[in-house]
Chain A
Amino acid sequence: MESLKRRLMLTGAFIVFFPMLITIGALYITGALKTPVLLAVAGGAIVGLAAALLAVEKIMASAVKLNSAVEKISKGETVKIVGADRTDYFYLIIENLNQMINNCDSFKKDIGTVMDSLINGDCTFNVNLSQYDGNYRVALEKIIESCKKVNEPLSVMNGVIDKVSKGDITSERINVETRGAMTSLKNNTNSLLNTIDNLLNEVKVVCIATIFEGKLDKRANVSLFSGRWARLATGINDIVNTFVKPLTLSSDYITSISCGNIPAKITEEYKGDFNILKNSFNLCIGNLQSMIKEVNDLTHAAADGNLKKRGNADKYEGAYREIISGINQTLDSVINPVSKMNEYLVQLSKGEIAGKIEDDCKGDFCELKDSLNKLITTLDNLLNEVKVVCIATIFEGHIDKRANVSLFSGRWAKLASGINDLINAFANPLKMSASYITQIGSGTIPPVITEEYKGDFNLIKNSFNSCIGNLNNLTVEVEALTHAATDGKLKVRGNADKFEGVYREIIVEINSTLDAIVNPLNVAADYVAKISRGEVSEKITAEYKGDFNDIKLNLNSLINTVDTMLGEIKTICIAVIFEGKLDKRTSVSQFSGRWAKLASGINDIVNSLVNPLKVSSDYLLKISHGEIPSKITEEYKGDFNEIKSSINTCLDTLTSLIITDGGAALQAAADKDLTARVKKTYSGLYDKMKENINSLIENLEEMFKNIGANAENVSSSSSQISKGAQSLAQGASEQASALEEVSSSLHQMNSMARQNAANAKEGQNLTTSARSSTERGVDSMKKMSVAINQIKDSSNNTAKILKTIDEIAFQTNLLALNAAVEAARAGDAGKGFAVVADEVRNLAMRSAEAAKNTARMIEESVKYANNGVGINEEVMKNLDEINGQVKKVNEFMSEISAASEQQSEGINQINTAVAQMNQVTQQNAAYSEESASASQELTYQADQMKNMILQFKLSSVKTRVMNGGFDYNSAPGYNRRPIIQPIAPPAAHAPHMKKDFGEYENYQASSKSIEADPKKVIPFEDDTNVLHEF
């Protein structure tokens, strides 16, 4: 921005300044401008330029502000451009921008409001559209419109789903017009509703089938559903299955047990409480089976007349045992009174009800007697009731009289109510028949009665018979008709042809009457049959009259009642079976009469089933939770009592096995007393368990004894090993130290050998050079000898020359003598000559003399030379000898050098070996250290184990041995020292060090400063970097 500004200003300056300058220049040159004017113009131009620059500056400032604002706006930030006044170059732009920002802001807020209300499901959309113009308004309108479009079907759907969630599944489906995704949402919701509908139907079908029709095989049709609904349907089926299977099985089992059929044990797999139930069943079945066999055997024996045979009560426990011994006692006490009883039983089986048994009897027989008496009483009562009802109904005409069902229980009650039902079913037709007969009997057309009647009826019959004896045939006919009617053969009609006149008319009349009765009766029968089949049909709408109308009305109200009853039962079933609300019962008060009884009967059934079930399940649950509850004391009857006593027996066994006997033994073992055992006798699996517990404890005890003994062995041998390893470690250390010494001295030896080799080599070199010097000496000697001989030769030659000179001197002397002689002869003339001759003679004499001297000297030097040759030869001989010896020395020297080198090589090899030995020794030291550490660990652990075992009470003598066996503290001190116990700094654990404590402290201090140093001194950045990588 800054650079742009600068560029702009420069460009502006040039644009303004240059043309002006040029123009002014041109004007000036052409003389159009005078100098003062030129100066004024130039000054003006400069002022103008300055003003222009200032303006540009200001524009740029505004532009920068504007730019940053626009940049923010483009980033979506809300800004307000401030500080713009009318003098600003961009005033209008800024104003418009601010306006735009404002609009954007409120537009944003309003869209927020619309979205919020859409999210909240509120479709009022509180937006003031009028504040917008143009595109803002159009956009906002569009948004609100589409929000509404979205929301409308949603709220409709919401209403429907709300209803569904409240359980109100109507056939209503969502029917709003939708588009796109909304449509598929709508469709999905509708199909969800359909599915729920279907599911409910299926459940209904299953419920009805299972509960009301007793069709336990009926299941929901899973294939109607998909996905999770299919799983839900399957789930419902599964629930039904889990209930139905054990229910039917339990019911079958209970039924067959109560019928005296002991079924095979339940092998199917069940879970949870059902499994516990199953197990109790199986236990019960097992005991029953074996008992039945026992009883069977007894029965066979009795049948064979072997009345001495008794059951083996010892095989059983608890109630079963009591039963067997009871049977035995019964057998004992039965033998005598048995025939008496038999008589009664025979009588009873023939339907003859004798008086009560008055005979004395004992024990169980007494109970049997009581039962028999009770039976007799019941039969008596029943008979009486029937009698009373019969008398009332038939003879006294009290058709409303019924047997008092409450006097009876069980099947007897059913019998009584059956009789009542029969009476009820036939009450009206009987009433009608009665009235018909009464009509005839009252004088118009008296019928004939052949049947036996008693009491009042008999009187009536008798009077009839005596009054209208000749109406016998008619009577017979009517009787036949009556019989047929009582037999339910409602199609039978009187044979009018057999009669004539008024009788014929009577018969015809009777026949037509019968028709009138039978038709509505058939209808009624049909309905009742339907109802009894569980088909609750629609109400009867046909028109009947009089009593038939009553029948119709009653039937209709029966249908009503049955309907209500069904509803009640349904409610109970759903509550009990599906919702698990076992307390749900029918409200009896809404029914009357038998229906009320039926309702309360249903309640009773549910009660009698639910209560023991609850108790059993409660107990089984508690047992399965490890609780042993107190025995069941409530009274139950029949099979429920069996269950109760089974549970009680089971509780006894469990109490003993888990708490008092077995539990105590285990507790003792847990408290480290392994001498306790399970003592009581148990049967079956319990006995197996007892054996297992005992053998577990025995094994533990045995094992602990062994472990104790082994631990002791381990402890002592490992401390042995530890000691061994320690001394091994020490040995290795000493070895290492010795090796260090050896290695060091070897090093020295090696260097000495090398030195020797070097010296020998030096010596060799020296002798070599000595040899060459002597050889050179010999050589010079030889040369000298030659030179001397040459001197000798030349001396000889010189001697020869000297001899010649001597001969010449002699001759010259002779000649000089001769000349002197001659000169003397010649006198004076010869006088000069005589002097010369004399001189010559002198010279000759001196020459001879000199030659003689020279010869003598040469002779002498030859003699010397000869002498020199001799010496020379001697020197040469000596030199030769020296040469030979130097050669020998040289050989020795090279031998020494080679030997030293070999020696050095050998020492090197020894060194390598020692280095290897050192490595092995280091290894040994490390390994023995490691094994010392391991064996110390071992000792520690063995001791630990021994201490642990010592906490157990064991029954054998070994414990004593162990107690006195190994004393940890008697182990050598070293054993406990280096690794298990930390080594304190020397000053602390060595008392003799105390006087040096200060020094040690100093030392520590310095070592501490050193300790911190390594990092500083040795470049460890690399290390630190590496460590920081991890």
Chain B
Amino acid sequence: MEYISAKLSDYEFDRISGLVYSLCGISLGSGKKELVTARLAKRLNELKLQSYDAYLKYLSGDESGYELLQLIDVITTNVTSFFREMHHFDYIRERILPEYRIKSEKIRVWSAGCSSGEEPYSMAVLLFEEIGNLMLRDVKILATDISTNILTKAKEGVYDKQLVNGVPKMLLNKYFDAFTDRDEYGRTLYNFKVKSDIRSVVRFARLNLMEDWPMKGPFKIIFCRNVMIYFDKKTQEKLVGKYHALLETGGHLFIGHSENLSSISHSFKYVQPGVYLKC
């Protein structure tokens, strides 16, 4: 086995970033060249290709489209965690859910760009905690992402000890099953699997936000956190408009802590950082 230390030329980088942009809206500035090189190196290694040029040829020759999915998989940044940006969940618990403890209205939540599932599972845990047994209620969470690999991981719902750090001990005991496993070198892994009740309210599906959305809505809550930062303003504006249309009146859109709708035009009412209301 030999490490491929191929160089990514500007031309190749531009071609790849153009492809990625048209494919999933992620805009890769020139500052991302190293990142792209590093992430694509995995593919080159796996395919035993010697150059990025060869990779591009391989990519355009792959009629199955499989490699395109792999490209998206390696390019996307999947960083996430349980109860990330706790204040959003606090807001939902204090300001949205109280009235649904009694009202048995249906609840629809969408986690757009759910990555490895921490976000929708956190939401499901919150709903169980606040509303009680969701099995008796019409409550469903849609969790979508463009990356098929990350979705497979998400559906499994298995997380390493370190990954569940953000989950309060009490909730961890209540909603996760602890088990041990061995890695390829035979070392012990301490894993946690999300319980089936929680998993059953979360429905995973691959959805490229750039393509048509088959959902009819309306949703009460839409999460699209730390997804649109990889998109340009034009794309962001288009997506935010579509989120608005899919939300019910009084529904909320949650975006990431570093995002802001102030520089795009939209019809939401600002509530607090990252929280927007459809009036």
* A contact set with B: CB distance below 8 Å: 726, 729-730, 732-734, 736-741, 744-745, 747-748, 751, 905, 908, 922-923, 925-927, 929-931, 933-934, 937, 940-941, 944, 974, 977-983, 985-987, 990, 993, 996, 1000, 1003-1004, 1006-1008, 1010-1011, 1013-1014, 1016-1018, 1020, 1022-1024, 1026-1030
A interface, by DSSP: helix, strand, loop or mixed?
helix
User: Contacting chain A: which of B93-101, B123-131, B259-267?
Assistant: B259-267
Chain A: CB-nearest residue to B26: A983
Q: Which residues of B contact A981 (CB under 8 A)?
A: 232-233
A914 → chain B closest CB, angstroms = 13
Query: Is B204 engaged at the interface, CB distance under 8 Å to the other chain?
Result: yes
What are 11 A-B residue pairs whose CB atoms fall within 8 Å in the complex?
Answer: A737-B38, A922-B78, A934-B259, A937-B259, A983-B17, A983-B232, A985-B22, A986-B17, A1023-B205, A1026-B142, A1027-B214
Q: Do residues B77 and A733 form an inter-chain contact, with CB atoms below 8 A?
A: no
A304 → chain B closest CB, angstroms = 72
Cα-based distance from A937 to B56 in the complex (angstroms) = 35
| CB-CB under 8 A for A985 and B18, given A740-B42, A1003-B56, A1010-B60 | yes
Query: Is B234 engaged at the interface, CB distance under 8 Å to the other chain?
Result: yes
Query: Is B196 engaged at the interface, CB distance under 8 Å to the other chain?
Result: no
Q: Do residues A986 and B142 form an inter-chain contact, with CB atoms below 8 A?
A: no
Q: Which residues of A contact B205 (CB under 8 A)?
A: 1022-1024, 1026-1027
Q: Do residues A929 and B77 form an inter-chain contact, with CB atoms below 8 A?
A: yes
Cα-based distance from A955 to B79 in the complex (angstroms) = 50
Q: Do residues B148 and A1018 form an inter-chain contact, with CB atoms below 8 A?
A: yes
Q: Which residues of A contact B31 (CB under 8 A)?
A: 726, 729-730, 733, 974, 978
* B contact set with A: CB distance below 8 Å: 1-5, 10-11, 14-15, 17-19, 21-23, 27-29, 31-35, 37-39, 41-42, 45, 56, 59-60, 62-66, 68-69, 77-79, 108, 110, 140, 142, 144, 148, 185, 203-207, 213-217, 219, 226, 229-230, 232-235, 256-260, 262-263
Q: Do residues B18 and A1027 form an inter-chain contact, with CB atoms below 8 A?
A: no
Q: Which residues of A contact B64 (CB under 8 A)?
A: 1013, 1017
Point out the residue from B10, B18, B38 that lies within 8 Å of A736, measured CB to CB. B38
A930 → chain B closest CB, angstroms = 4
Q: Do residues A1030 and B45 form an inter-chain contact, with CB atoms below 8 A?
A: no
Q: Do residues B62 and A926 form an inter-chain contact, with CB atoms below 8 A?
A: no
Q: Which residues of B contact A931 (CB under 8 A)?
A: 258
Q: Do residues A925 and B35 form an inter-chain contact, with CB atoms below 8 A?
A: yes
Q: Do residues A733 and B17 form an inter-chain contact, with CB atoms below 8 A?
A: no
Q: Which residues of A contact B27 (CB under 8 A)?
A: 978-979, 982-983
Q: A741-B41, A993-B11 are in contact. List 20 more A-B contacts (CB 8 A).
A: A729-B31, A729-B32, A737-B38, A744-B41, A933-B229, A937-B262, A978-B31, A982-B27, A982-B235, A983-B28, A986-B18, A1003-B19, A1010-B62, A1010-B65, A1016-B65, A1022-B205, A1026-B205, A1027-B213, A1029-B203, A1030-B110
Chain A: CB-nearest residue to B56: A1003
Chain B: CB-nearest residue to A977: B29
B185 → chain A closest CB, angstroms = 5
B201 → chain A closest CB, angstroms = 12
Cα-based distance from A985 to B25 in the complex (angstroms) = 11
Q: Do residues B77 and A922 form an inter-chain contact, with CB atoms below 8 A?
A: yes
Q: Which residues of A contact B110 (CB under 8 A)?
A: 1030
Cα-based distance from A990 to B11 in the complex (angstroms) = 9
Q: Which residues of B contact A748 (CB under 8 A)?
A: 1-3
Q: Do residues B233 and A982 form an inter-chain contact, with CB atoms below 8 A?
A: yes
Q: Do residues B263 and A1018 form an inter-chain contact, with CB atoms below 8 A?
A: no
Cα-based distance from A931 to B256 in the complex (angstroms) = 11
B interface, by DSSP: helix, strand, loop or mixed?
mixed
B196 → chain A closest CB, angstroms = 17
B72 → chain A closest CB, angstroms = 9
| CB-CB under 8 A for A1028 and B232, given A740-B38, A1004-B22 | no
Chain A: CB-nearest residue to B151: A1023
Q: Do residues A926 and B60 form an inter-chain contact, with CB atoms below 8 A?
A: no
Which 3 A-B pairs rank lowest in CB-CB distance, beginning with the nearest? A986-B14, A737-B38, A982-B232
Q: Which residues of B contact A933 (CB under 8 A)?
A: 229, 258-259
Q: Do residues B216 and A734 form an inter-chain contact, with CB atoms below 8 A?
A: no
B152 → chain A closest CB, angstroms = 12
A589 → chain B closest CB, angstroms = 66
Cα-based distance from A979 to B235 in the complex (angstroms) = 11
Cα-based distance from A937 to B66 in the complex (angstroms) = 36
Q: Which residues of B contact A908 (CB under 8 A)?
A: 185
Q: Which residues of B contact A1027 (CB under 8 A)?
A: 142, 144, 205, 207, 213-215
| CB-CB under 8 A for A1023 and B65, given A744-B3, A1030-B217 | no
Point out the residue from B22, B229, B233 that lies within 8 Å of A929, measured CB to CB. B229
Q: Do residues B68 and A1014 form an inter-chain contact, with CB atoms below 8 A?
A: yes
Point out the residue from B34, B68, B77 that lies within 8 Å of A1013, measured CB to CB. B68
Cα-based distance from A1006 to B257 in the complex (angstroms) = 37
Point out the residue from A739, A940, A987 that lies within 8 Å of B18, measured CB to CB. A987
Q: Do residues A1007 and B23 form an inter-chain contact, with CB atoms below 8 A?
A: yes
Chain B: CB-nearest residue to A1025: B205
Q: Which residues of A contact B38 (CB under 8 A)?
A: 733-734, 736-740
| CB-CB under 8 A for A744 and B66, given A733-B38, A980-B233 | no
Q: Do residues A1014 and B69 form an inter-chain contact, with CB atoms below 8 A?
A: yes
Q: Do residues B18 and A926 form an inter-chain contact, with CB atoms below 8 A?
A: no
Q: Which residues of A contact B204 (CB under 8 A)?
A: 1026
A912 → chain B closest CB, angstroms = 8
Cα-based distance from A996 to B18 in the complex (angstroms) = 14
Q: Which residues of B contact A922 (CB under 8 A)?
A: 77-79
Cα-based distance from A401 to B148 in the complex (angstroms) = 120
Point out the residue from A730, A734, A985 that lies within 8 Å of B21, measured CB to CB. A985
Point out the residue from A737, A974, A983 that lies within 8 Å of B35, measured CB to CB. A737
Point out the residue from B14, B207, B230, B234 that lies within 8 Å of A990, measured CB to CB. B14
A752 → chain B closest CB, angstroms = 9
Q: Do residues B230 and A929 form an inter-chain contact, with CB atoms below 8 A?
A: yes
Chain B: CB-nearest residue to A745: B3
Q: Do residues A937 and B213 form an inter-chain contact, with CB atoms below 8 A?
A: no
- Quick one: which of B110, B206, B234 has the most chain A CB within 10 A? B206
Cα-based distance from A1008 to B235 in the complex (angstroms) = 18
Q: Which residues of A contact B10 (CB under 8 A)?
A: 990
Cα-based distance from A657 to B31 in the complex (angstroms) = 60
B9 → chain A closest CB, angstroms = 11
Q: Do residues A736 and B34 form an inter-chain contact, with CB atoms below 8 A?
A: yes
Cα-based distance from A395 to B64 in the complex (angstroms) = 138
Q: Which residues of A contact B226 (CB under 8 A)?
A: 926, 930
Cα-based distance from A284 to B108 in the complex (angstroms) = 64
Q: Do residues A983 and B29 form an inter-chain contact, with CB atoms below 8 A?
A: yes
Cα-based distance from A769 to B27 in the complex (angstroms) = 65
Cα-based distance from A880 to B38 in the complex (angstroms) = 59
Q: Which residues of A contact B217 (CB under 8 A)?
A: 1030
| CB-CB under 8 A for A979 and B41, given A940-B262, A1024-B214 | no
Q: Do residues B2 and A1026 form an inter-chain contact, with CB atoms below 8 A?
A: no
Cα-based distance from A1011 to B23 in the complex (angstroms) = 7
Point out the residue from A905, A937, A978, A1018 that lies within 8 Å of B65, measured CB to CB. A1018
Cα-based distance from A748 to B17 in the complex (angstroms) = 30
| CB-CB under 8 A for A1030 and B215, given A1003-B60, A1017-B64 | yes
Q: Do residues B69 and A1018 form an inter-chain contact, with CB atoms below 8 A?
A: yes
A313 → chain B closest CB, angstroms = 57
A184 → chain B closest CB, angstroms = 42
Q: Do residues B34 and A730 form an inter-chain contact, with CB atoms below 8 A?
A: yes
B52 → chain A closest CB, angstroms = 13
Cα-based distance from A1027 to B208 in the complex (angstroms) = 12
Cα-based distance from A980 to B256 in the complex (angstroms) = 16
Q: Which residues of A contact B59 (CB under 8 A)?
A: 1007, 1010
Cα-based distance from A945 to B203 in the complex (angstroms) = 43
Q: Do residues B29 and A978 form an inter-chain contact, with CB atoms below 8 A?
A: yes
- Quick one: which of B1, B68, B258 has the most chain A CB within 10 A? B258
| CB-CB under 8 A for A736 and B39, given A748-B2, A987-B18 | yes
Cα-based distance from A987 to B21 in the complex (angstroms) = 13
Q: Do residues B77 and A979 form an inter-chain contact, with CB atoms below 8 A?
A: no
- Quick one: which of B19, B142, B213 has the most chain A CB within 10 A? B19
